[in-house]
Amino acid sequence: MHKAGFVNIVGNPNVGKSTLMNALVGERISIATFKAQTTRHRIMGIYNTDDMQIVFSDTPGVLKPTYKLQESMLNFSTSALTDADVLLYVTDVVETPDKHNDFVEKVSRMEVPVLLLVNKIDLSNQEKLVELVEAWKELLPNAEIIPISAATKFNVDYVMKRIKELLPDSPPDFDKVQTKIKCNATEYIDSLDLNEETKQELKRHYDIPWTMVDSGGIKLGLDLHFEQEGTNYNCDFKSGFSSNEKGNTNRLLLVASIYNFLGEIEKTILFVRQPENANNHYLQTLKNSPYWDVYCANDSYAAMKNFTGFDMRKWLDENADWKNDISEEFREHLQRNDLLKYLTW
């Protein structure tokens, strides 16, 4: 299963946060210096592999603000606690654990995994390190404590290993997938034994469908995704195909072809509310394509039960009474506009 997520790096000034991110990402994109508070904004670094996408965020150091700019910088660090999938709290062997109790208290209440990284262990000894680890365990009992040296890259590989294990299953960012596809096509065109003018013309024509994709704003991350027995399932839902659905059909075909490009373990499923015979030919276009497994009406519920073990259709029949659970005025409005059927997915 592909994994993706946000890993935010927080901690006090000058504990080595930027050095750590540079070591994790593999490029020197953060400012690393002995002067405290050099990083003034959240800096993003992206780590990409075929089965992984990690967005690292290096924040300004935690400090009690004494002027407006420092207050803004602290806000960046605090906001990093709200949008992380994994939090790296970086400290070192010099500072005491109680330096910023208020911030540590916020970290202790986080529900996402927290890796507490004790940096610069090459400047300490075993006895002091053990005492420091025990003190941090008291303050952050749910955090996983890992001694590291970002400068010498000691244990940095292990930190990356734990990040990969803790990240949620998630599809890759579509912009990255799009870039990869474009690069592959461009490299192939460049490899052809053609003159430069012809190559540029091929690239221009190749860019046309991507312009259409960009205008449609396709977001693969908004689909429903789950993994079962080594296969990644990507789901979409439609009420039905009763009008001119050419645009939606083309979008769905393009989305499924992108997933197909990602590998053989990617499957795309379409659940349609209407019975199959109530839909027009656009549904058959998708059903006859090599990309989509299509389920309609009660077949959709049967497929959901097969995947999850939960009988959604039975539960709805026993617990939901849509027609009587809404106001009479709203029900009449739905009836007048032939919309009442949409309550019974």
102-161 tens-digit pLDDT: 778 888 888 889 999 999 999 888 889 999 999 999 999 999 999 999 999 999 999 999
Judge whether residue 327 has pLDDT over 50.
yes
Please, which residues bridge with residue 116 across strands?
A: 89, 145
Q: Which residues pair with 236 in a beta bridge?
A: 270
Q: pLDDT value at position 71?
A: 42
Query: Mean pLDDT throughout 305-318?
Result: 90
Place of tokens 């195909």: 241
For residues 254 and 313, give the distance between their C-alpha atoms in angstroms, rounded to a whole number: 30
Q: Please tell me whether residue 97 adopts helix, strand or coil conformation.
A: coil
Q: In this predicted structure, which of 49-53, 110-114, 160-164, 277-281 has the lowest mean pLDDT?
A: 49-53
Both tokens assigned to 341: 């059927």
First to last CA, the chain: 30
Tell whether the model's pLDDT for residue 198 goes beyond 70: yes
**What is the gyration radius of the CA atoms in the chain, in angstroms?**
26
The pTM assigned to this predicted structure is: 0.51
- Answer for the pair 42, 30: CB distance below 8 angstroms, yes or no: no
Element holding 187 (H helix, E strand) = helix 174-191
Contact 142, 128 (CB under 8 A): no
Are the CB atoms for 176 and 53 separated by under 8 Å? yes
**Which residue type, as a one-letter code, is found at position 182?**
K
pLDDT above 60 for 38: no
Is the pLDDT confidence value at 237 over 50?
yes
